[in-house]
């Protein structure tokens, strides 16, 4: 049981929450860009548009991650540990 509500959360949020609950935080993360063509086909977009939209979404995730890392680098270590332990 967790204090984090999961009913209206996005897939990425639920995934990250489950990773944090699982134990050690990974040192590396890989993104597999699969499904862009299927996404485009379902919405009657050109394949190239599906790849562009997939890249835009990946860019948003990377930017958010980098901004969180940057914010945590300028905080004291004790503060970061408290914030990370909230999700575990």
Per the domain annotation, does 81 fall within a domain?
yes
Output the pLDDT for position 10: 75
For 74, which DSSP code? T
Output the pLDDT for position 27: 78
Per the domain annotation, does 64 fall within a domain?
yes
Output the pLDDT for position 72: 67
Per the domain annotation, does 75 fall within a domain?
yes
7-24 b/e with 16+ CB inside 10 Å = b? eeeeeeeeeeeeebeeee
Per the domain annotation, does 1 fall within a domain?
no
Per the domain annotation, does 2 fall within a domain?
no
Per the domain annotation, does 36 fall within a domain?
yes
User: Digits of tens for pLDDT over the chain (88 positions)?
Assistant: 455 555 666 777 777 777 778 777 677 878 888 999 999 999 999 999 999 999 999 888 887 777 777 666 677 777 766 766 665 4
Per the domain annotation, does 59 fall within a domain?
yes
Q: Tell me which residue range forms the domain holding 79.
A: 11-87
Output the pLDDT for position 40: 94
Per the domain annotation, does 6 fall within a domain?
no
Output the pLDDT for position 32: 87
**Number of structural domains, the chain?**
1
């Amino acid at each position: 049981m967790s204090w984090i509500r999961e009913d209206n959360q996005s897939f990425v949020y639920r995934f990250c929450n489950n990773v944090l609950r699982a134990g050690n935080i990974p040192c590396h993360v890989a993104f597999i860009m699969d499904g862009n063509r299927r996404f485009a086909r379902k919405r009657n977009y050109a394949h190239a548009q599906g790849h562009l939209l997939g890249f835009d979404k990946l860019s948003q995730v990377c930017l958010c991650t980098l901004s969180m890392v940057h914010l945590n680098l300028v905080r004291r270590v004790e503060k970061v540990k408290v914030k990370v332990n909230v999700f575990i």
